[in-house]
A = this chain, B = another copy of it.
Amino acid sequence: MSDNSNRDVQPSCATPVTRPRVITLAHGSGGRIMHDLIQDVFIGAFGGQEKAQRHDGAVLDMATERIAFTTDSYVVDPLFFPGGDIGKLAVCGTVNDLAMCGARPRWMSVAFILEEGLQIKTLERIALSMRDSADHAGVSLVTGDTKVVEKGRGHKVFITTAGIGSIDHGLVISPDRIRAGDAVVLSGDIGRHGIAVISSRQGLSFETEITSDCAALGNPVMALLEAEIEIHCMRDLTRGGLATSLVEIAESANMGIQIAESRIPVSQPVRAACELLGFDPMYVANEGRFVAFVPQTQADQALSILRTHGNSQGAELIGEVTGNMPTGVTLLTSLGTQRPIHMLSGEQFPRIC
């Protein structure tokens, strides 16, 4: 990444912005502007109710058992891309949010908003993909809804899934549990989903086809928990990419995180595509990658476990929690310099998920 640092730095520059009064595409970016919107409008309105808003899901105490509950809408364009489709994404994305809460994914709801004129065979293909993905992830699709809007008032298919998972252990997994010295483990190479979608949308082709990393992460996460790895925090690296996820965690925890550029796996085709398109892989969306914060003493064991699972066989130790002075995320570059990392600012590309 060091050889295109000018372009790399660009999307991460935090420039002061006047808060807009209308919704812009950047509000869907996963970056700073979306965070401001959630803070200003939703936290403002929902207050304490929306207490789990800043995490991937809500952990709920029932009388005798803890469950996790999460939702996401999927508006990816195009509907089908190398390595996945909106249906697979809608199942895996919600499975992953549950897994990030340390929950075993159990049940899922599916709500469709269809645009008048959609080919029903397209919908069938998506539904079958959802079923396959749900079977593979061991989650049951148990309830649903369908709405239709007029042509030009929607776009083909939007899907919203919600998921419930059961929590069978006593760990509390949350940004405020990270501690100085914790190891930061990344589950595999980054940047594939974003590049697969954007190149598919724009009709670009590369020498080597780049396929999305879209995958369900329930199994590797359950394996970590079963081995009694004391996971402090996990986060899947969707909109805003690795950089934004780490900044969110550092800000929530009021801690410093240092990661080493040389340890972050980026495939050669993704690196080349990013250079061509002017993107920094650190900010590109993933749909099958996560970071886990674990005690340094368990880092090697966690890596070994992750590497036995297909979806996390490229796991690497990429950094550590440095303490609370200074706070924020620092990248140790391949040149040996240190560079502060910010959230995605503005819009990288819309409708990536």
Contact = CB atoms under 8 A, between A and B. Distances in A.
A52 interface: yes
A351 B142 CA distance: 24
Interface string A145-159: 111111011110010
B127 A70 contact: no
Interface centre among A27, A65, A155 (most CB of B within 10 A): A27
Instruction: Indicate how many identical chains form the complex.
Output: 2
Contacts of A67: 62, 67, 164
Contact of A160 (B25, B123, B160): B160
A35 to B, nearest CB: 10
A178 interface: no
Interface centre among A74, A107, A116, A143 (most CB of B within 10 A): A143
B23 A121 contact: no
A351 to B, nearest CB: 6
Interface string A23-64: 111111000001001101110111101111101011010111
Interface of A: 20-28, 34, 37-38, 40-42, 44-47, 49-53, 55, 57-58, 60, 62-65, 67, 69-75, 77, 106-107, 109-121, 123-124, 127-128, 130-131, 134, 140-150, 152-155, 158, 160, 162, 164, 166, 350-351, 353
